[in-house]
Amino acid sequence: MNDVLLSDGRGLKHVQVREYVRGLVAGAEPGAPAPSERELVHRFGVARMTVRQAMDALVVEGLLERVPGRGTFVARPRRSATRLTSFTEDMNRRGLLPESQTLLARREQAGPGVARALSLSEGDAVIHWRRLRRADGSPMCIEDAYLNEILIPGFLQAGMPTSLYDALAGRGLRPTWAEDSITADAANAEEAELLEITPGTPVLRHSRRGLAGEKVIEVSRSVYRADRFTLWVQLGQES
């Protein structure tokens, strides 16, 4: 699927579909049905995947919600600040099935950047866990997590869990807050191969420094396919 081929003078098709649906549901009661994918495919003459992408963005924004087996509906407004989510939770929230493949899991000595981010000294032991993360069967991101080994003794020996944050929660160390940053970039050859895109395709680099209270428990670097991932952030005024 090539978005460029789908674009016309008015911008990308999935953006047009998304904004059309946004207009349609503006002011609708929570629980009202969203237009069906089939209807939108027909109206815009686009691929089902394009409609999916548009609807996914509105689900992630919190404007629509998917109810498995029933369809997509106007969501109840959410007013809480964005919850610190794991990949697993984030994909579930988007109505996508998360899967992971471990590419590497080992003990390493912290390099200068990782040491600084984890508030450790260079050469201290860290656990490096690299995963290819899929959503609905297709690659979504490559994720490198570095964990402070001292805080999680026996982590590697216990076998790799499905969700890192669930495993940390089990040890009372699920991050409670984080610093995230996002930058745009192009995929290098190795990333492109894993993500099943061509080298040079746009990606989003997401870094996180996750803390459980005062303890820095993880730093991570994820590289997301920009054509599949929309970052959703809710902002508010402190009361």
Applying CB under 6 A, does 147 fall inside the site for ligand GLP? no
Alpha helices in the chain (DSSP H): 3-6, 13-25, 37-44, 48-61, 87-93, 112-117, 164-170, 189-195
Find tokens 């590289």 and name the residue.
223
Closest CB to ligand GLP among residues 56, 143: 143
Q: Given the complex with ligand GLP, which of 7 and 85 has the nearer CB atom?
A: 85
Phi, psi (rounded to 5 degrees) for 90 = -60, -45
Angle between helices 37-44 and 48-61 (to 10 degrees): 120
164 near ligand GLP, judged by CB under 6 A: yes
Mark the segment that binds ligand GLP (CB under 6 A) among 51-59, 65-73, 85-93, 114-122. 85-93
User: If binding is defined by CB under 6 A, does position 229 make contact with ligand GLP?
Assistant: no
Query: Which of 143, 151, 217 minimizes the C-alpha distance to 179?
Result: 217
Q: Which two tokens stand for residue 43?
A: 């109206």
- Residues numbered 1 to 30 that lie near ligand GLP (CB under 6 A) are none
The residue from 22, 49, 62, 88 that contacts ligand GLP (CB under 6 A) is 88
Which amino acid, one-letter code, is at 130?
R
> At closest approach, how far in Å is the CB of 175 from ligand GLP?
8
Stretch that binds ligand GLP, among 30-38, 149-157, 158-166, 225-233 (CB under 6 A): 158-166
Calpha distance 87→22 (Å, rounded):
26
- The contact set with ligand GLP (CB under 6 A) reads 86-88, 143, 145, 163-166, 206, 208, 210, 218, 220, 222
